């Protein structure tokens, strides 16, 4: 029976090209989730093996690094990239919705984006290049993950005009730059497992969709290369459980989740805090939680950001950067220190 249980829960997140994308399908299937809840506490070997392997592959394929280039970018003249990135993410998320891609696909395309800009620079102000990169990244992610990827012409590029050949060339540039390593693990792969390990507080249905929301919200706040997908997933599940955990409680929870090894508690905790900030931001004033780590934020960099922000707006490129929308949904720019 252990087998049956695990297969039920695992199946929902496993298969790549099958449509059983867990948050599109099984979220609505309440009975499934109830069932999982009833088996709380039972951890099958298959589960453990599955998560161990994911974490292992995460390390290999994700090329986990301790933050560097993006932060560095922030203090260099490439500050504008931070804003261009937000714009790219907005575009990716909107386009995801238009085509009905999974969130996993959108997330994956942002990891491509982040990996690309960590290896190659884009000249300041070349917003067309950023949009072209976004199109290529999303198209590639769709080819990897979706059952059917749309033709290039069906990606709405708004006020830009790219020929198919140009987009294809950009795809090749991305593939080459990323060394054809396109198979990254995303936090979504862990979600059901983590939820099952912590289920309790709120109804699972809400928990899943809230966790998904947190993950999506975090895409904008962090460089995806800085945080392991497992860490983001764990933080999202904890944040979604709708309870204010103290540091100690959280660590206890973490111990139950990560019986296969140690998640990076420090990182999970700061991600968790960041997500709570986002949550509060919804209620109060929106603010940009520029998260990464407590230790490595250069306070100076945010002044630069502020200046840049104004400069960009003054320069009349704001339309493309979509700061107006941004102000409402996510952000303004402000540092916080966890």
Give dist(CA 98, CA 85) in Å, integer.
20
State the nearest-atom distance from the C-beta of 169 to another protein, in Å.
7
Neighbouring C-beta atoms of residue 335, cutoff 10 Å: 17
157 vs 175 by CB, closer to another protein: 175
Q: What is the total residue count of the chain?
A: 338
Give dist(CA 139, CA 152) in Å, integer.
7
Residues forming the site for another protein (CB under 8 A): 3-4, 6-7, 10-11, 13-18, 45-46, 49-50, 53-54, 61, 139-140, 143-144, 149, 151-153, 164-165, 167-169, 171-172, 175-176, 179-183, 185, 189
State the nearest-atom distance from the C-beta of 224 to another protein, in Å.
17
60 vs 252 by CB, closer to another protein: 60
Give dist(CA 88, CA 219) in Å, integer.
11
15 vs 315 by CB, closer to another protein: 15
State the nearest-atom distance from the C-beta of 93 to another protein, in Å.
21
Q: What does R_g of the chain's alpha carbons equal in angstroms?
A: 20
State the nearest-atom distance from the C-beta of 143 to another protein, in Å.
4
Give dist(CA 249, CA 325) in Å, integer.
37
114 vs 277 by CB, closer to another protein: 114
16 vs 126 by CB, closer to another protein: 16
State the nearest-atom distance from the C-beta of 100 to another protein, in Å.
17
Taking the alpha carbons at both ends of the chain, their separation in whole angstroms is 44
State the nearest-atom distance from the C-beta of 167 to another protein, in Å.
6
Q: Extract long-range pairs of 249-257: CB within 8 Å, 24+ residues apart.
A: 253/198, 256/197, 256/198, 257/194, 257/197, 257/198
């Amino acid at each position: 029976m252990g087998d049956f249980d695990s297969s039920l829960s695992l199946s929902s997140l496993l298969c790549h090209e099958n449509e059983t994308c867990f948050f599109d399908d099984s979220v609505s299937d309440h009975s499934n989730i109830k069932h999982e809840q009833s088996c709380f506490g039972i951890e099958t070997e298959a589960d453990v093996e599955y998560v161990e392997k994911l974490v292992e592959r995460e390390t290999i394929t994700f090329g986990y690094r301790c933050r560097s280039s993006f932060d560095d970018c922030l203090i260099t003249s490439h500050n504008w990239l931070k804003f261009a990135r937000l714009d790219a993410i907005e575009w990716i998320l909107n386009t995801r919705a238009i085509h009905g891609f999974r969130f996993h696909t959108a997330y994956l395309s942002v990891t491509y984006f982040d990996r690309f800009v960590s290896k190659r620079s884009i000249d300041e102000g070349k917003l067309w290049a950023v949009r072209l990169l976004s199109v290529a990244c999303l198209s590639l992610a769709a080819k990897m993950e979706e059952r059917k990827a749309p033709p290039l012409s069906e990606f709405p590029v708004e006020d830009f005009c790219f020929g198919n050949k140009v987009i294809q060339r950009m795809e090749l540039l991305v593939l080459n730059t990323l060394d054809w390593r396109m198979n990254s693990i995303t936090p979504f792969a862990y979600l059901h497992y983590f939820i099952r390990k912590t289920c309790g507080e709120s109804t699972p249905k809400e928990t899943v969709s809230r966790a998904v929301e947190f993950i999506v919200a975090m895409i904008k706040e962090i460089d995806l290369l800085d945080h392991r997908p497992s860490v983001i997933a764990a933080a999202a599940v904890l944040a979604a459980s709708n309870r204010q955990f103290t540091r100690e409680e959280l660590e206890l929870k973490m111990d139950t989740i990560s019986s296969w090894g140690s998640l990076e508690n420090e990182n999970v905790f700061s991600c968790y805090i960041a997500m709570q900030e986002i949550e509060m931001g919804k209620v109060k004033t929106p603010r940009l939680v520029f998260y990464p780590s407590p230790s490595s934020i250069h306070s100076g960099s945010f002044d630069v950001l502020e200046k840049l922000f104004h400069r960009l707006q003054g320069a009349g490129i704001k339309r493309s950067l979509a700061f107006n929308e941004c102000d409402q949904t996510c952000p303004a720019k402000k540092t916080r220190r966890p």
